[in-house]
A and B are shown apart, each in its own frame.
Chain A
Amino acid sequence: MEERKDTAAVQKMRVDRAASSLCMAYLLIAFFAFGLAALAGVLQGLVRGGMVTLPGGINYYQLLTAHGVLMGLVFTTFFIIGFLISGVARTTGGALTPGSLRLGWIGWALMTVGTLIGVVTILRNDASVLYTFYAPMKASPYFYIGTALLVVGSWIAGIGIIASYRAWRKRNPGKTSPLFSFMAVATIVLWFIATIGVAVSVVFLLIPWSFGWVDRVNVLLTRTLFWYFGHPLVYFWLMPAYIAWYVNIPRIIGGKLFSDALARLAFLLLILFSIPVGFHHQLTEPGVSADWKFVHVILTFAVVIPTLMTAFSLFAVFETTGRAKGAKGLFGWFAVLPWKDVRFFAPMIGMLAFIPAGAGGIINASNQLNQVVHNTIWVTGHFHLTAATSVTLTFFGVSYWLIPALTGRTLTAGINRLGILQTVLWTIGMLIMSGSMHYLGLMGAPRRTAYTTYGDSAAALGWMPYHQLMAIGGVLLFLAAALMVGIVIYLAFFAPKGMTEYPIGEEAAGALATPRILERWPVWIGISVFLILIAYGMPIMDQVTHVPPGSPPIRTW
């Protein structure tokens, strides 16, 4: 039982100053981007509902691009890298190796420069192409360069994370790695495999074409490469939230991990089943055969298995913890969960939101039902439940303890109450906004569209009250976002000094050993590559060799 005592001692430990500063640098940029993106978001909602018109010079699609890029690419990536680095430092002895630390800062600098370049092109209205930047709409070449730098920076930081993990394994031969570090590495592995697609598209196809070095671009190939990346991107957001659910929450509620081995297996399955599935985003488009689309649809649904494993594990932890506290009856444990602790409350709402969000996802990926909802605002409603509720509320929940733990401050009772209020406000705003979006989508209202009645068409006029409801939800969300930014600033710079625990769940006594196979990366990466080759090999070959003449660049805004 040597190991157990060790963990107990480590439990008191914090992340050292050097690693803390690095993580805070990531988190502050993340929340800065979040604040700007929230402002762009609320304006969009108000414009679309016909409640305001934008002052001269600003175009709706410029705001939409800013919102998508800053929320979906900048806020998430910066938060995730910062969170993963902190947890790896925390679970591998409290500090990063000097090499990791250096890579972390280089990555941060590249990501920040890339973001700045991208934001400037968007503000200059030279990149109103939305975060999907579908060719042959052509943004300024610097928009693509900024995106590439953001991705490359995240790779370098990712290598730093892997370096610290490897150093730990070298120091501890034959031992199972800390669960957080393993999961962080799994997330980074997914990110590496996924971003190769978008990197190839940006560097080899879009940048040369946007500078005019080549005349035409293979439109379908850029779309396929984008969605090769676009779906696992969602899992890159989700896996860190799962880390918080699997590793941090059990400790916060005073319980133990359910099963170390199953948690690892779930993460490996997420890597396998989140990449070879991109065609389910392209179901209604020409040039991809219906049979290959079907292969992707089947693989998409395989992700149900690790998702169900995760749901079981989490609720098993809740139930056993509740019963250990003396809860009686079939559901008594639910009531004794620490609902008044925002570190639990915010992520728990996120988990609950994942139930309807997952059901919506199954609809989207269904071969036939997709045609009803494709490119309608239903889809926007869907990912505002997954990304903007499940993931985002979890990230907020993490921030309440992570920021004070990194800055040597404390989460006060007042901020805890404010955090609960923030969560409630966010949840109500999202229910109204996402609910309207789902309904409007079923009626056929398109996503990514400015205020319009299509020449007073009866259908479009009927949508307008729900667009206005959506805007009201958006206003509540903006208020909640502003409150969150305020809380982050307070926790980072003004909260009382003190000791805050970085919560890491432990295994229950008598837990079984984790099988070694789960840490043999070449095996799992090999299977992943194999599945990708099956799902994408032939269609991409086809899209390279058997193609129509490409498209010249066009600026349509």
Chain B
Amino acid sequence: MHLHKYEKIWLLFGGGVLVLFILILSVNSFAMGMMPPSHMEMIDPTKVDQTPPFDNPGLRQVGDNEYELVMTAFIFGYAPNEIEIPAGAKVTFKVTSKDVVHGFAIPGTNVNMMITPGYISTLTHTFSDPGEYLILCNEYCGIGHQVMATRIVVKGKEGEKS
């Protein structure tokens, strides 16, 4: 098939940029470990309230300013509601749904994942700056979808202004 000289240059340039782009993505993904949340752990979606740790959702300290935050998502809210953590806390969210598909996003951060019934979603984020963070559902889940939200309050350390 005949390719015009300029088209060859154009496609080589475009193809080259594409290869470079994919290389950068690969380095990000495999060398730096920045993969999208893809947890494979499962749960019976009709027995969330009876299955540990979701029978007792809440914040647990697991290390020096490191926490695990177990949450359930349901129409139209999250448990626990209102969470307080100290600034600089590294939080691993562990979330599952008790009913339909939900979202879990914190505007202003990279925390953004789907909550699919039957699966447990996890993601880790370090809250460096004190303030109030909104957790909201960004997947349509029903008539009250727009009120499905909760808050994380990140407290400044003692003696610091928050």
Contact = CB atoms under 8 A, between A and B. Distances in A.
Interface stretch (A259-267, A322-330, A473-481): A259-267
A455 B149 contact: yes
16 contacts: A61-B142, A134-B140, A282-B114, A283-B36, A284-B113, A286-B114, A287-B38, A301-B22, A374-B112, A446-B105, A449-B146, A452-B147, A457-B132, A550-B118, A556-B141, A556-B143
Given A304-B14, A446-B103, A554-B99, A367 B46 contact: no
A443 B100 CA distance: 26
Contacts of A290: 29, 35-36, 38
Contacts of A375: 103, 105, 112, 114, 138-139
A336 interface: no
Contacts of A457: 132, 134, 149, 151
A262 B10 contact: no
Given A61-B145, A549-B45, A287 B40 contact: yes
B143 A286 contact: no
Given A137-B100, A223-B116, A557-B143, A284 B1 contact: no
Contacts of A383: none
A93 interface: no
Given A294-B29, A548-B43, 17 more contacts: A60-B146, A134-B140, A286-B37, A286-B41, A287-B118, A290-B38, A308-B10, A372-B110, A376-B105, A454-B134, A454-B149, A457-B151, A459-B108, A549-B44, A556-B141, A556-B143, A557-B142
Contact of A288 (B38, B136, B145): B38
B72 to A, nearest CB: 14
Given A290-B38, A305-B14, A367-B28, A548 B44 contact: yes
A287 B136 contact: no
B64 interface: no
A172 interface: no
B142 to A, nearest CB: 3
Contacts of B140: 61, 64, 130, 134, 448-449
Nearest to A137: B100
Most-contacted residue by chain A among B99, B112, B113 (CB, 10 A): B112
Given A298-B22, A549-B46, A556-B99, A449 B117 contact: no
A504 B42 CA distance: 56
A368 B10 contact: no
Given A443-B107, A556-B100, A549 B118 contact: yes
A553 to B, nearest CB: 10
A113 B14 CA distance: 45
A523 B14 CA distance: 27
A220 B119 CA distance: 9
A458 B26 CA distance: 37
A551 B147 contact: no
A297 B113 CA distance: 17
Interface in B1-41: 1-4, 6-7, 10-11, 14-15, 18, 21-22, 25-26, 28-29, 34-41
Contacts of B89: none
Contact of A448 (B39, B107, B145): B145
Contacts of A259: 2, 4
Contact of A308 (B14, B28, B39, B138): B14
Interface of B: 1-4, 6-7, 10-11, 14-15, 18, 21-22, 25-26, 28-29, 34-46, 75, 99-101, 103, 105-108, 110, 112-121, 132, 134, 136-143, 145-147, 149, 151
Given A286-B119, A551-B118, A554-B99, A61 B136 contact: no
A301 B18 contact: yes
B17 to A, nearest CB: 8
A160 B110 CA distance: 49
A289 B137 contact: no
Given A261-B1, A549-B118, A305 B103 contact: no
A136 interface: yes
A364 to B, nearest CB: 12
Contacts of A177: none
A460 B120 CA distance: 28
Nearest to B121: A286
Contacts of B143: 59, 61, 128, 556-557
Interface of A: 59-61, 64, 128, 130, 134, 136-137, 219-220, 223, 259, 261-262, 265, 282-290, 293-294, 297-298, 301, 304-305, 308-309, 312, 316, 362, 366-368, 370-372, 374-376, 443-452, 454-455, 457-460, 512, 515, 547-552, 554, 556-557
A286 B122 CA distance: 8
Contact of B101 (A219, A376, A443, A445): A219
A316 B7 CA distance: 9
Contact of A284 (B37, B120, B132): B37
Contacts of A64: 140
A298 B156 CA distance: 42
B126 to A, nearest CB: 15
Given A219-B117, A449-B146, A308 B11 contact: yes
Contacts of B120: 286
A309 B107 contact: no
B28 A368 contact: yes
A445 B138 CA distance: 8
A492 B22 CA distance: 49
A475 B144 CA distance: 26
A60 B146 CA distance: 10
A136 B100 contact: yes
A368 B25 contact: yes
A286 B137 contact: no
B38 A515 contact: no
A259 B1 CA distance: 10
B119 A287 contact: yes
B45 A368 contact: no
B34 A368 contact: yes
B101 A134 contact: yes
B147 A297 contact: no
A270 B101 CA distance: 31
B100 to A, nearest CB: 5
Nearest to B17: A304
Contacts of B37: 284-286, 371
A370 B36 CA distance: 8
